[in-house]
């Protein structure tokens, strides 16, 4: 098995596809998706384009859908919810399909949607992602961070490092045998340094600061909870997990 980390959708190769790709947007899109499925959502359908989301979800019965839209950290006017995982209660999402568009996370998922297997990963479902990789043993695994509008993000890289660290430990492999690129070594070091202070790391992250300005303190606390949910969002058809 070879593991590759790409910090943003833009840095992810377009000329090849891996056996397994995991899109990561700790703050907050993939955390929200995992939480929605844990709360009983029927599925999560992702869109980079808001108009397309509205058009496709129009065909869905109102009581069976929930529209989540976020831009710049804020809820999109007219949508049922923004992108807070804390809004994904069973009362809100159970039995419904979550139609979601966010600034970066949904783009990361779209970027890798042709991979043989596509997952959404976050700290909250780190163990479920690792267990899937260990059981399926894909030859090439990509961890794709969402970043922020094309730039590196601390939180997605730390989460990629958390997944990599668990794989190294459980496969009992020298790091160099697993690492397909230098980003893996960097992510392992970042996670190693901050693993006991992930909330503090979120406070250093530019997107963490953006969310704090939008009163996102509780979201940050929620998103750093490691292995909270045994849920594996896995793509069943392009764009639907
Ligand atoms: O960029 C994204 O996709 C979002 O997760 C950003 S936010 O956390 O909802 O602001």
Ligand 1 center to 28 CA (angstroms): 5
Report pLDDT for 98.
98
Q: Quick check: ipTM above 0.85? A: yes
pLDDT mean over 173-189: 97
**Tell me, what's the pLDDT at 49?**
93
CA angle, 121 as apex, 118 and 126 as ends, to 5°? 125
Q: Which residues contact 169 (CB under 8 A, 6 or more apart)?
A: none
* 60: confidence class by pLDDT, cuts 50, 70, 90: very high
Q: How far apart are CA 30 and CA 211, in angstroms?
A: 16
Going by pLDDT thresholds of 50, 70 and 90, the confidence category of residue 116 is very high
Give the confidence band of 168 by pLDDT, cuts at 50, 70, 90: very high
How many whole angstroms separate alpha carbon 228 and alpha carbon 241?
Answer: 19
Q: What is the pLDDT of residues 12-26, one digit of tens each?
A: 999 999 999 999 999
Q: 150 alpha carbon to ligand 1 midpoint, in Å?
A: 13
Query: What is residue 164's predicted lDDT score, i.e. its pLDDT?
Result: 98
Helix (H, G, I), strand (E, B) or coil at 169: helix
118 Cβ contact list (under 8 Å, min separation 6): 20, 21, 22, 23, 109, 112, 234, 235, 241
Protein residue whose Cα sits closest to atom 10 of ligand 1 = 73
**pLDDT for position 46:** 97
Please give the distance, rounded to the nearest whole angstrom, from the Cα atom of residue 32 to the centre of ligand 1: 10
Give the tens place of pLDDT for each residue, 140-165.
Answer: 999 999 999 999 999 999 999 999 99
């Amino acid at each position: 098995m070879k593991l590759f980390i790409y910090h943003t959708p833009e840095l992810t190769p377009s000329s090849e596809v891996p056996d397994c790709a995991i899109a990561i947007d700790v703050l907050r899109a993939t955390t929200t998706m995992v939480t929605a499925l844990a709360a009983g959502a029927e599925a999560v359908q992702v869109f980079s384009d808001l108009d397309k989301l509205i058009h496709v979800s129009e065909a869905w019965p109102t009581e069976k859908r929930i529209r989540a839209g976020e831009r710049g950290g804020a809820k999109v006017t007219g949508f049922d919810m923004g992108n807070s995982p804390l809004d994904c209660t069973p009362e809100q999402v159970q039995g419904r399909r979550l139609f979601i568009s966010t600034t970066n996370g949904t783009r990361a998922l779209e970027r890798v949607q042709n991979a043989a297997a596509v997952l959404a990963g976050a700290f909250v479902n780190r163990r479920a992602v690792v267990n899937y990789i260990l059981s399926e043993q894909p030859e090439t695994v990509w961890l794709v961070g969402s970043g922020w509008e094309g730039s590196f993000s601390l939180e997605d890289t730390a989460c990629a490092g958390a997944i990599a660290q668990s794989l190294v430990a459980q496969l009992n492999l020298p790091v160099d045998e697993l690492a397909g690129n230098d980003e893996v070594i960097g992510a392992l070091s970042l996670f190693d340094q901050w693993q006991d202070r992930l909330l503090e790391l979120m406070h250093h992250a530019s997107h963490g600061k953006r969310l704090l300005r939008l009163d996102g303190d509780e979201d940050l606390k929620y998103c750093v909870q490691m292995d909270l949910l045994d849920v594996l969002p896995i793509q069943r058809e392009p764009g639907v997990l």
